[in-house]
Structure 1
């Protein structure tokens, strides 16, 4: 019997690549998304325009579905209305999991994020983070990470109740097709376009979007219920990444390092101005 898979947020950067790979596997693929643009998708994919916050639309989208990939979320690091992070990322995830469980979905893959580990590194000085590293809400550096951490807790709680949920935590996805310019792509473009005269040394991990999608499918096929799986690649210092970009493009990358205390202060000021005056996304959000 052909597997029918639903991807919430399937018109996003990761979602489109995931759907392409699912179609290649011979699966029937359906998307639930609020986006009106569906270019770049295989013609076999069925697109339902709707929201994860609408239970009736969720029920309709889940009809006959075997596997659910819940990717729908706000990926931005800053919003004018901070409550939207919790409303969509956390409350939306709870509603999706409840509705999928009632629909009898056989396997659910929840897309969390590696970003929720950053606060653990800063607060506790951890050098290496893995799937077993304990985290708490106080470790989360901003509203985006808090909302994704709480959403992941919803998935863990659902698994403890017997809902067949597996969690994946992608690092920073990059690759072709990022039309909305997710945060890692914006960062790379900023350096390539000469927008940043200096940089803050930090540890990053980037992964090609095709590998992220493949990791989702492996989680559905082989993942253990209630387990977390970090989807990542090589750990790099930002200075190493800039050297690679310079070598590949011939463009001069910044050589000056910004001290952490200065970068933190600048981010606080930048975000304060965005929150109270410009109401536009800051160049350097705190998250």
Structure 2
């Protein structure tokens, strides 16, 4: 009999890719979707949809009858105005989902955390799963909410639940529907709206490898352990150069000092947002770029067999998907 998987966040970037992998591998999939969710990423797939929310009182009944759970859903925002929603969805939502999974008799849960919960080391330091920035040093409410959500998973493990934690770095590839901040970089590049760049860096991974990381964590991961799902550390300049080689468009050659976007973002969020303007640049996002976000994903490679597909291919597939979906105009 096919294993029945319950997934939260299936309409999102990682979730949509994971749902497709699970189906390809013979799993039956039941996905939790909110009443207001865009279902474009799940259109035409042979899955069961159940309407609900992470904090529903009867969530366990919606999960019951499945074997394993992938808790991928999270609220992602770097804007100050969304801080309450971040804790409501990411921390309380995770507590609710894990409690419901236990009540429903789920055999194993894979919880999607983030490298955001781990933090960063010294400038240009590459950190692994053993690193933990003090929560007060994590930049912004999104990172803090993911840290506290991960603590919910660890507490549930201490009470006997079988939960494996995965910490994706920066995924790229198709089905980036919102899109993510990295997807926004690709789109700004395609639209020729990136005349300069900030001197920073990040760890990239093909989103389909992230999906495999979830499935491999289910099969091989150790309960209570965290696994960074990452691949290649690249400076933002190197990323833009790769985009240039793939598209034939010129990469920006000038860096801008950090104080300039910091000032713009502060004005946006502190002065203009209270007047009703929708902010275009998150202050916390700019603050994060102060330190390169470099990670070591070798634990997942060695212990889980995490694939390490070429980043250039993932970038090409992301570009093609955005163009096919009409995002690049």
User: TM over 0.5, yes or no?
Assistant: yes
For 2:30, the equivalent position in structure 1 comes to 30
In the alignment, which residue of structure 2 is the partner of 1:258? 256
Q: How far off is 1:245 after superposition?
A: 1.1
**Alpha-carbon RMSD:** 1.9
SS at match of 2:227: strand
Q: Which residue matches 1:55?
A: 57
What's 2:293 paired with? none
Counterpart pick for 1:140 among 116, 138, 141: 138
Provide the C-alpha distance between the structure 2 equivalents of 1:39 and 1:24, rounded to a whole number of angstroms: 19
> Residue 107 of structure 1 aligns with which residue?
108
Gaps of 5+ in 1: none
Q: TM-score, normalised by structure 2?
A: 0.81
Paired position in structure 1 for 2:231: 233
- In the alignment, the residues of structure 2 paired with residue 39 and residue 30 of structure 1 have an alpha-carbon distance, to the nearest angstrom, of 16
Kindly indicate whether the alpha-carbon contact (under 8 Å) linking 1:6 and 1:61 is maintained by their aligned counterparts in 2.
Answer: no
- Cα 1:61/1:241, change in 2 over 3 Å: same
In structure 2, distance between residues paired with 1:125 and 1:36: 39
**Kept after mapping to 1: 8 A contact 2:116/2:147:** no
Deviation of the 1:44 alpha carbon: 2.1
Where 1:32 maps in the other structure, the secondary structure is strand
Q: For residues 114 and 283 of structure 2, what CA distance do their matches in structure 1 show?
A: 17
Deviation at 1:29, TM superposition (A): 0.6
**Counterpart residue number, 1:3:** 3
Please say if residues 78 and 282 of structure 1, whose CA atoms lie closer than 8 Å, have aligned partners that are also in contact.
no
Report the CA distance between 1:270 and its aligned residue. Answer: 3.0
Deviation at 1:115, TM superposition (A): 2.4
8 Å Cα contact 2:78/2:282 also seen in 1: no
Q: How does 1:134-283 map to 2 (within 5 A)?
A: 134-273=132-271, 275-283=273-281
Establish whether residue 44 from structure 1 lines up as the match of residue 28 from structure 2. no
User: Partners of 1:189 and 1:257 in 2: how far apart?
Assistant: 19
Specify every segment of 5 or more residues in structure 2 that has no aligned partner in the other structure, as ranges.
286-329
Instruction: Please identify, of 14-23 and 268-277, the stretch whose mean Cα deviation from structure 2 is larger.
Output: 268-277
How far off is 1:132 after superposition? 0.7
Task: State the TM-score, normalizing by the size of structure 1.
Answer: 0.92
Shift of 1:79: 5.8
Judged with a 3 Å threshold, the aligned counterparts in structure 2 of structure 1 residues 43 and 246 are, in CA distance, closer, same or farther, namely: closer
SS across alignment from 1:21: helix
CA apart distance, 1:40 = 4.5
Question: Would the aligned equivalents of 2:61 and 2:104 in 1 still touch at CA under 8 Å?
Answer: no
Separation in 2, partners of 1:147, 1:6: 23
- SS class of match (2:211): helix
* Deviation of the 1:25 alpha carbon: 1.3
Q: Do structure 1's residue 77 and structure 2's residue 78 form an aligned pair?
A: yes
